[in-house]
Amino acid sequence: MSDDQITDLARLLPAEAVPDLPADRLQILKEHLMVEYRQAAGNRRPTPQRRRARRPLLAAVGAGALLAAAGAATALVLVLSGGQPAPASPAAAELLAKVANAAAQQPAPQVSNSEFMYIRSDVAYADYLNGSQTPTTDPLHERQIWLPVANICDWGLVIEEGQRTSLAPSPGSSPALSVKCGTGNLNNATYRLLQSLPTDPRTLLSQIYAFNQKNGEGQALGSDGEAFVTIGDLIRETIVPPSTAAALYRAAALIPGVTLIPHVTTVEGQPGIAIAWTSSQDRYEWIFDPATLQYVGERDYGMSIGKPVVTGNAAVLQRAFVSKAGQLP
């Protein structure tokens, strides 16, 4: 995508306008999220099978519009009366259509059920320790994860910050997340589950909304924000089959409040163009290479004591299939 095309897309973005949430609503939200985080993490940052952007990153919230990082173009979603977000911007829908077409053209790998997805990233995420509303951000570091192709009870592995953590969601094994053996679910997807998802965007998005509602997701971000985060979780630390990836991006274009940010950089300094979803507390960005339209990373923002802060950074460096957990491509 050329600079001129990016500029044309940027002109279609809505104006910034995000009113504050009521103070009592913010307090309830903060208390709910802190309880959720303490229960999940025991006041320590966990190493889950798939790092859920919403869990530790939303622990400190506040009122007001998020601001972009210095030097980045900003595109905050309109929040209308009653707290309803504006429809997805035409610029975002156009970019997501191009990203989906590029994803659909990728070759579909042939893999066996015994193999593992391997993803290597550089990451830096925020901690909210001991109830603090001021996040402490990790230094940028490498994260490697191995996830099973066919059965989540085949032990996966995370290597991060010098620690090796087995991912063993099988009976009696202290699983990363409590799920049944098999292909997993939208919070813990194997490659086979990703292959089984519907490729019609509206059907797929309906399935995501229904899954989140059934599992109690959406209390903090609302159903639209949770759908965006769920898709982001699926594309961040998996290898998504081409047809599924295309459907996920086309489904994202149907989510109200999705916008485009024309000029961003990954934590590694790689230039990109971002698709974002924003509330009055947080913004989640998926970053794509402007030339190849491939997903290259993410950036998340949250509010800390009334000020916007970067709460998550990730740059994907490598994806591959390997024969066993711990093996390098």
Residue 328 covered by a domain: no
Rounded CA-CA distance 151/161 in Å is 26
Q: Can you spell out the DSSP letters for 253-305?
A: TTSTTEEEEEEEE-TT--EEEEEEEE-SS-EEEEEE-TTT--EEEEEEEEEET
- How many domains, in total, are found in the chain? 1
Residue 327 covered by a domain: no
Residue 79 covered by a domain: yes
Q: Which helix (H) or strand (E) is 37 found in, with range?
A: helix 23-41
Residue 13: is it exposed, middle or buried by C-beta count within 10 angstroms (0-12/13-18/19+)?
Answer: buried
CA atoms within 13 A on the CB side of 302: 27
Tell me how crowded residue 51 is: count the other CB atoms within 10 A of its CB: 23
Using one digit for the tens of pLDDT, what is the confidence trace for 305-319? 677 788 899 999 999
Residue 258 covered by a domain: yes
Question: What does the DSSP 8-state code read for residue 81?
Answer: G
Q: Can you spell out the DSSP letters for 136-197?
A: EEPPPEEEEEEEESS-TTS-EEEEETTEEEEE--STTS--SS---SSSEETTEE-HHHHHHS
Rounded CA-CA distance 77/267 in Å is 23
Identify the domain containing residue 187 by its residue range: 3-322
- Residue 151 has what pLDDT? 93
- Residue 5 has what pLDDT? 54
The one-letter code for the residue type at 283 is: R
- Residue 309 has what pLDDT? 84
Q: How far is it between the farthest Cα atoms of the chain?
A: 57
- Residue 131 has what pLDDT? 67
Residue 273 covered by a domain: yes
Rounded CA-CA distance 66/89 in Å is 18
Q: What's the Cα-to-Cα distance from 240 to each of 83, 108, 123, 151, 235, rounded to whole Å?
A: 33, 9, 20, 16, 7
Q: Looking at beta carbons, which pairs linking 212-217 to residues 24 or more positions away fall under 8 Å?
A: 212/186, 215/187
Stretches in the chain below the pLDDT threshold 70: 1-86, 128-133, 168-179, 218, 305
